[in-house]
Amino acid sequence: MNKKKLFAAIALVAAIVAGGFALSGKSGNLYHTITGEESAPLVRTAYTGPVNNQPVSFEEAASAAVPSVVHIRTVVKYKQARQQNPFEGMDDDIFRHFFGDGGGRQFRQPPEQRASGSGVIISQDGYIVTNNHVVNGATEVSVTLSNGKNYKAEIVGTDPNTDLALIKVDGKNLPVMPVGNSDDVKLGQWVMAIGYPLNLDVTVTQGIISAKSRNLGINRQAAAPVESFLQTDAAVNPGSSGGALVTTNGELIGINAAIASPTGSYAGYAYAIPSNLMKKVVNDIKQFGSVQRGYLGISMAPENLDEAQKKELGIKYDGNGVYVAGIDPSGAASAAGIRQGDVITKINGAAINSGAQLSEQVARQKPGDKLKLTYLRNGAEQDVEVTLKGKMGEIAGGPAATIQQLGADFATLPAAEARKMGIAGGVQVTAINEGVLADQTNMKEGFVITRVGGMAVRTVDELRAAMQRLRGNFQIEGMYPGSNKVYYYGINDY
């Protein structure tokens, strides 16, 4: 198989859908699975692994890790499900017989789609990390532990850029998997993949780390994706998405997310999101409701260019590092004096050999964080401190927010309803349309906003005034009628 066909077949781990059909995504050849700062102490100590040069054993690590990996089932209602006829353009009589005669009648779909994936418990009180594509669009999420206990789950937040999501169940003293340091992972290191493939019970496979910092260009879910996968030959199949990549010490070092395959099933290559990136993302979601992401403000030259291509692009560098092909004049790199043609070789003293490594290191930071960059200019090595900014080129974010950009209809909550909810007042979301709320949150219609960016709002006019004072990242706080639970929805890069 040539490279073009191989990468066309790289797929996000596919969903297991009722009736045997997988939902086809927007990205053509992708098969999508619809499939930290810990808030509580760990349940147990991690298994310490093989000692005294004894043969590697996976038994103790697997026994310790399996209880922390859960089976996730989702339901996507018809209005959220894809409505394109998957057999459009086919004229065979057999397809017309089973799926309609094409005479103007639309393809009929079931009222809901069911799918399956995996997740990893990261806190005793029920926080679970999984993939964004496991829960994306889900109207119902349920979780089953390895002991058979079932829970309903809520989606706390998602980050399409890293394909991660955080969900929560109402549990206590749940078995937590210790989180390891993915930076310490070595090529050839033994690992296990744990998940619920093909709707089977919990399954453990073993392999080695075969590559690090893989950028495959397969995340089509977001505008600014971060890909720096750990590659393994441990078998991963549809339904394994969101499961654990585990060391022989029983520590979580990655969240399984994708496979490279000509069929959509395992064919030798699997990819996991590094645990260090995962920790940053889920901690942000827990604290802010969305990911607080810092930007360096550069564009990088393509990798693996031949000499003719380098000459055409004006690149005069052949060593390790990342060639700066362009600079955002309002970005953090420009403010620190980085120029087009510089070569970034280190971040905080750690060697950088690829764009994927650089992207992952920067994605672990938030606006306002400082990084020490080492770069080459005219053959001379220099160091500079860079203060990361928001996407719009300012630490505080972009221009002032407006209520219209939220993409929703609002109404001042009647005083009688406010008294029932035990609040002084608020603004109710009566409809959610296209806009920031739909793109960045899981807010539902009926939600009552009580604070925005720390400012109390009791009327639509107060909400409008508060929004005009906000920039960058902020939280929307409020409640749903009939519940006394406070919800926080984070807005990022506004």
**What is the rounded distance in angstroms from the CA atom of residue 480 to the CA atom of residue 204?**
41
List the structure tokens of 127: 């926080």
Which residue among the candidates 68, 123, 182, 241 is catalytic per the annotation?
Answer: 241
Q: How far is CA 399 from the centre of its chain?
A: 26
Query: Exposed, middle or buried by CB within 10 Å (0-12, 13-18, 19+), for 132?
Result: buried
List the structure tokens of 154: 């809520």
**What is the rounded distance in angstroms from the CA atom of residue 405 to the CA atom of residue 438?**
11
163 is catalytic: yes
**What is the rounded distance in angstroms from the CA atom of residue 438 to the CA atom of residue 96?**
37
**What is the rounded distance in angstroms from the CA atom of residue 13 to the CA atom of residue 377?**
42
**What is the rounded distance in angstroms from the CA atom of residue 347 to the CA atom of residue 311?**
27
Closest CA to 254 of 267, 270, 272, 237: 272
410: amino acid identity, one letter: F
Closest CA to 253 of 243, 262, 261, 244: 244
DSSP run (H or E) holding 152: strand 150-159
DSSP run (H or E) holding 133: helix 132-135
Pairing of strands 298-300, 269-274: unpaired
Which residue among the candidates 116, 118, 163, 359 is catalytic per the annotation?
Answer: 163
**What is the rounded distance in angstroms from the CA atom of residue 358 to the CA atom of residue 347?**
8
Angle between helices 275-288 and 355-363 (to 10 degrees): 30
Which residue among the candidates 71, 116, 123, 133 is catalytic per the annotation?
Answer: 133
Pairing of strands 298-300, 10-12: unpaired
Query: Exposed, middle or buried by CB within 10 Å (0-12, 13-18, 19+), for 396?
Result: middle
For residue 485, the tally of other CB atoms under 10 A from its CB is 7
| Complete DSSP assignment for 21-85 | PPPP-TTTT---------SS--SSPPP----TTPPP--HHHHHHHGGGEEEEEEEEETTTS--S-
* Residue written as token pair 């094409």: 102
439 is catalytic: no
Backbone phi, psi, residue 244, to 5°: -105, 140
**What is the rounded distance in angstroms from the CA atom of residue 140 to the CA atom of residue 368?**
37
Q: Provide the annotated active-site residues.
A: 133, 163, 241
